Structure 1
């Protein structure tokens, strides 16, 4: 797909939506001040941080225009990311899910074609902070809609004064720094604004090339514009993410020392290994995110073992409070109350152990981890408890001694895991905690090939008669819900142990439960995709299992 289609789509959005108030896909009036304000209010109604969890509840009962407007806002959100960040199939599915929920006409394949290409990669937090990125698009449009049509046209035609003012105004109104500010700047004025989504990257590039800048502008985007003009005298295509420019501003990376032996990540192994090492060296705790069964917990264990760090592993619970994590009074056999440390303090003393915290987001973060925030930030915390020596219990990063002191040394780490398919609790994480963790996505293979399937079977020390069929079957599952290799390992192990090679039961036991929350029509599409496997599968049994588990009869 030609990237020019993206810029053409943006020009249509600018004219039809931002200036004329019309829909991007129909001739209806849609992008009005009233509609945008209503959508903004709806999206602010919930404290849920995960956008894909929140919008279904927030838009429930809203009129068709709100669903149609959200589809087009999401369209703009997904225009910029390349497939390495968000696959086209994912982009399309997200838009169609909104359209189906609202009972409105779906965008056609032709209308969605510009989403296929993408312009550049987006950072991890572009997906993690989707809620704010989407709301920024709405706020930017609202800032513009306060003005008369002629003023809108004038501001959008003025990249440095007009457009810049609108972008900054939207950010200041939201009080959030988002990548969408940089993305919209480039999309609306690509000649003037570099194709860069990260403010940190912009700063790093200017720092690396400041010696060739002739003018000292205060605005970093103007500096980048001048820099690109200077570099264009020496090269035809100024791309800061391609050779040779990329190597000139990207920090040199040390040779990785971790080995991911036993886990299959393909081409992503080196990137994943470097991300882990860099995060640990920079003093960050780690949060592995990904689909069920990607090997997040095993990866956390491997990191601790290879770095020769003793560790303690626990699974978070929705019932956790500060009593479970930090500690509190507990009666002794004699009936006296004595302070008992929670899981965090147990990991610090008597011998420091790294803490592997599985399913971290299942806990109420602010309630369970509250005192931890301050200590992670470098402050001492005096807890409202006394140790057996009569001294108040203290959490600190300073080297101290005493029965009542729990020291969080600089080399102590938490390695958490988070299941990105857990829609009930996903990313219910306060920003106070997020700032202290490096979110590292544990990847899934984009395409399941027989060769890749063979690699997994080798790592599991298992064999399977028809590897091509198994790879194709896993691919059908991936198309409806991302599941990691551990789920497929469970499926294969069950089939090997069953007397009749019962693949149907294996899918019912291990795959069907993972489809919780998937739209009914998409599960039905999966069942239809399984028809070529009918010699080995009983598709009707699978359908009945889905009907029972997801109460489909309630929606008939």
Structure 2
């Protein structure tokens, strides 16, 4: 196979032989490495050469070659890096939250997004890195995390005939290496960090933030890792059972703490409508507007209390939970679904499965009483839905709590 400009591939070369590049990975890789201009790589990307050889998503050989090339713009590299990423494009968080997060990242400050469960912290974190970076990794914390999961450490290697040890990059040091390899801004999301011991796992990272030129890790090849300004660190933190004041002062001094809580009424309604249109549509006998009204009344009652009573909010509870209701109802009520002929029951079963358990998980005794009362009231107000399962689940939990309290008396 030949091309018109010696060892360089022109746009006409790749257009003429695109079927070859789609069929053979080695030829596609050669064309990327010896492309004459960005147009050549853009045509290959438009033809989805990377998807053909690397799959729908992930950093394979072809995508890595495109990211390592100096020809593509950051925007073209984003298209390749985020291929298959289904993160919603519309950013619906309050404008001040978006501005503050972007300013902090642009100023070189790591960010912590905190707030109650269901406020879309992880989604917003991904939206942020899609705007600010060319690629990112998402890492969810666990109770077993150690500093090596952040910075790197020694890991056993069981390949071969004997046990050996080698260094293994942590999620932050891996992001540093990718930022260097691709010469781009690269994001690392540390999700739900309250699952881990924050003071323990972030110790070396705190040192690196204070001393950015200090080596924090060295690979088996002798490469040193220092914190790079091109690496954007974003953490998410569920604050349903603790406050910012209870955190280690070390993290609040070194990270920008950005609260994600309330959405505007308009943006919350946009979220609800989009989920109902996508997942429920015309599959149910009742209008989706009725389900939208239920979502809003439920959300308001939990977060702000009911107008006819003097009681305030039950707890802080985000709107993202209602997507699961829309998905459940859409699947349950479709032709051949488990609730195809019992649409009115599907909603109550969805609430019993997704919403009430999450409320009860964070509720104290007085809150459990109010949760049960709340769903009894909603059941009376929305006659087209049977919310009895949701109310009964809360009442069973309430009765259990009463028995336990009685056993201690």
Task: Give the TM-score range, shorter chain.
Answer: 0.5 to 0.7
Instruction: Give the distance between the partners of 1:291 and 1:305, measured in 2 at CA.
Output: 23
Relative to structure 1, the CA distance from residue 513 to residue 285 in structure 2 (aligned partners, 3 Å threshold; closer, same or farther) is same
Relative to structure 1, the CA distance from residue 512 to residue 381 in structure 2 (aligned partners, 3 Å threshold; closer, same or farther) is same
1:519 to 364, 370, 394: 364
1:492 to 303, 306, 326: 326
Is 1:537 paired with 2:386?
yes
Instruction: Give the distance between the partners of 2:293 and 2:203, measured in 1 at CA.
Output: 50
Match of 1:388 in 2: 220
The equivalences for 1:147-226 within 5 A come to: none
How much has 1:517 moved relative to structure 2? 3.3
Is 1:345 paired with 2:194?
no
2:297 to 464, 472, 485: 472
Task: Give a deviation string over 1:391-422, Cα, whole Å, max 9, x none.
Answer: xxxxxxxxxxxx33013222322101111114
How much has 1:301 moved relative to structure 2? 0.8
1:373 to 198, 203, 206: 206
Alpha carbons 2:142, 2:195 under 8 Å: kept: yes
The equivalences for 1:431-450 within 5 A come to: 431-445=249-263
How much has 1:484 moved relative to structure 2? 1.5
How much has 1:340 moved relative to structure 2? 1.6
**SS of residue matched to 1:289:** strand
Alpha carbons 1:288, 1:418 under 8 Å: kept: yes
Alpha carbons 2:113, 2:260 under 8 Å: kept: yes
**SS of residue matched to 1:346:** helix
The equivalences for 1:421-432 within 5 A come to: 421-423=240-242, 429-432=247-250
- TM-score between the two structures when normalised by the length of structure 1: 0.45
Is 1:409 paired with 2:237?
no
- TM-score between the two structures when normalised by the length of structure 2: 0.60
How much has 1:458 moved relative to structure 2? 3.5
How much has 1:316 moved relative to structure 2? 0.9
The equivalences for 1:495-514 within 5 A come to: 495-498=329-332, 499=339, 500-501=342-343, 502-514=346-358
Is 1:277 paired with 2:95?
no
Task: Give a deviation string over 1:134-164, Cα, whole Å, max 9, x none.
Answer: xxxxxxxxxxxxxxxxxxxxxxxxxxxxxxx
How much has 1:369 moved relative to structure 2? 1.7
1:456 to 255, 271, 293: 271
Relative to structure 1, the CA distance from residue 549 to residue 490 in structure 2 (aligned partners, 3 Å threshold; closer, same or farther) is farther
Relative to structure 1, the CA distance from residue 381 to residue 278 in structure 2 (aligned partners, 3 Å threshold; closer, same or farther) is closer
Larger deviation, residues 323-332 vs 538-547: 538-547
Task: Give a deviation string over 1:252-289, Cα, whole Å, max 9, x none.
Answer: xxxxxxxx942434xx3x21222122212322111111
- Could you list the runs of 5+ residues in structure 1 that have no partner in the other structure? 1-259, 390-402
Match of 2:138 in 1: 313
How much has 1:453 moved relative to structure 2? 5.5
Task: Give a deviation string over 1:377-399, Cα, whole Å, max 9, x none.
Answer: 1255556x86435xxxxxxxxxx
Alpha carbons 1:374, 1:380 under 8 Å: kept: no
Is 1:288 paired with 2:113?
yes
**SS of residue matched to 2:202:** helix
How much has 1:311 moved relative to structure 2? 0.7
Task: Give a deviation string over 1:408-438, Cα, whole Å, max 9, x none.
Answer: 2223221011111144x97764222221211
Relative to structure 1, the CA distance from residue 407 to residue 528 in structure 2 (aligned partners, 3 Å threshold; closer, same or farther) is same
